[in-house]
Structure 1
């Protein structure tokens, strides 16, 4: 349990959040920042505690819980009084040794075994170190067996619904990016039909050989914006010699805030931005183009000294 929970500024401009009522926004924020939250996003939260901390009555709490379950944002278990926030792992991935150790300890205390299965699938889908995260953890399927990190046979034994299936799309692409170099015959940035393979290749060619977490970040962005836009952001990072995934994400965040999600959107924006620069096409400061007022300084001096009369 942490004393602080970080909220990304993109929360308020997220399409899902924008459509929520003020009551729903407040409740969603509460679920992500209350005193019972955990590092893994699965934690025990009795309805009585929600009533006390939010000020809502039981009927309202149950109504809101069901509503967010319908939105497919959470899952609440009345038997164990545990809740799972589905998108938690996406923004709070255990990427270091201390976080992995903390998550492993929390998973061992989860009572609802179905939550452990879903958590395993989400971490597997994010290409995290499954073996260390689930070390010593058992998941009961048809047969009681321990989870083995990175083993696809484990996920095949888990009984899940269609919406919760493991999405292993682009896994081979990421593996290729971490092994052999992919050669391209033309400039990818000039293409209008980019694929995720092109994004990985372009990153490797202009930035560096992508690590696992960098591939994961690029994949997350590709779910929301066009591949071409990601490549344009990589180009910006190369242009200003800021060759790292953090700078690329800052560029993408900036464009996302302005609603730029396609290559055409970014090109139009960049043209308009260039037209509003301080200096015009002549290289002259724009303020020098404004006609200056002329003053008679001797007359002003006489007025200030009272000599006018």
Structure 2
């Protein structure tokens, strides 16, 4: 057991509270935080400018990326650095209008997150879609395929050789009712 007059070491070391600090030190810390925030904003602005200018896609203009970010922030959530980088990576493969169409689709299906937008854009990239016109054509084709399949799903169509390839039974409900009541 150590005597109480020895200084404490490790996790038990006493930290001064905010109430003990002088007011001048608190003001200096507040000013320092403001300066640091301004420095961070300047660095983020230069990073964004360098990313926009160093983009491999010449069609990805700063105006286009700004409009994407504006639409994203208005409809989804505030832009974060990771989301910004992901959007920039998409501009290498598809046009700005395609990204905006993906954001619109996410809003329409109430899936307001970058994961859904990424999956939509990635599926379009895998289909070879790069422009807004190609997206519209693809969506028309996809909608027509789904509407025709939903019409067919109403009738009982089963492939032969599958598990349930038997014929659907038909019943004469009037005859069944007479049998239940004992009239026949």
TM-score normalized with structure 1 length:
0.31
TM-score normalized with structure 2 length:
0.50
Query: 1 or 2 for the larger relative contact order (CA 8 Å, sep ≥6)?
Result: 2
Q: Which has the higher strand share?
A: 1
Q: Which has the higher helix share?
A: 2
